[in-house]
Amino acid sequence: MREEYQKSVILFSIILIFGGLYYSTLFDIGSVRRSNGFLFTILIACALVGFLQTKKLKRWREEKKTDYTFVYWSFFWLTVFLVGYCGFMIVTRSELECMRILRNNMRGAGNKIYYEGSNKLNHFANNNGAEGSGISANYLLEQYKNIWRGMMFWKKS
């Protein structure tokens, strides 16, 4: 394939992907045309176009007729982002019972991390912050570890 056609295919796939992402917002929450079926179809099609273009770029790169290393890695990471975004949208927008439970669990986890982390910081500031010079570096390091253990749900052993 000639280099001009290859560049045209790359440009066309970029237009398809970003155009699809733009038009997917027409079917999202808060829109008059809200439809999860169309939303998921468009997002999956965008991820599929990204995947197929990445595969094609890899083949062109292996032929070593042109240097598309940067374009290949850009499409690779764009495809990874699209697959992750598509998964996120399916989990947060789906009406299935299992997805609603997962969405509620994800929402509660962030609040728990914030609540436990802020409690640890407040406890540290109220009890030991006023003493000033009596705090050793090992004590500060241990408190820092405990804060992260609390935020990451790890129990102190």
pLDDT in tens, 63-87: 777 777 888 888 889 999 999 888 8
pLDDT digits (tens, 9 = 90+) for 42-65: 889 999 999 999 888 888 878 777
Mean pLDDT value across residues 97-125: 61
| Average pLDDT score over the chain | 76
Domain limits, the chain: 3-95, 108-151
pLDDT at residue 80, as a whole number:
92
For a pLDDT cut of 70, what percent of the chain falls above it? 66
pLDDT at residue 113, as a whole number:
56
pLDDT at residue 48, as a whole number:
92
**pLDDT band for position 98 (50/70/90)?**
low
Is pLDDT of 133 > 50?
no
Residues 134 and 49: their CA atoms lie apart, in Å, by 61
Q: CA distances (Å), 89 to each of 5, 66, 103, 107, 144, in order?
A: 34, 36, 10, 14, 35
Q: Per-residue DSSP letters for 21-55?
A: HHHHGGGSTT-TT--HHHHHHHHHHHHHHHHHHHH
Higher-scoring residue by pLDDT: 25, 124: 25
pLDDT at residue 130, as a whole number:
47
Helix, strand, coil: what percent of the chain each, to 5? 80, 0, 20
CA-closest candidate to residue 42, choices 12, 62, 64, 22: 22
pLDDT at residue 157, as a whole number:
47
In this prediction the pTM is 0.56
**Chain centroid to CA 123: how far?**
33
Is pLDDT of 132 > 70?
no
Q: At what angle do helices 69-93 and 36-63 cross, to 10 degrees?
A: 160
Cβ(77)–Cβ(85) below 8 Å: no
CA-closest candidate to residue 51, choices 25, 84, 29: 84
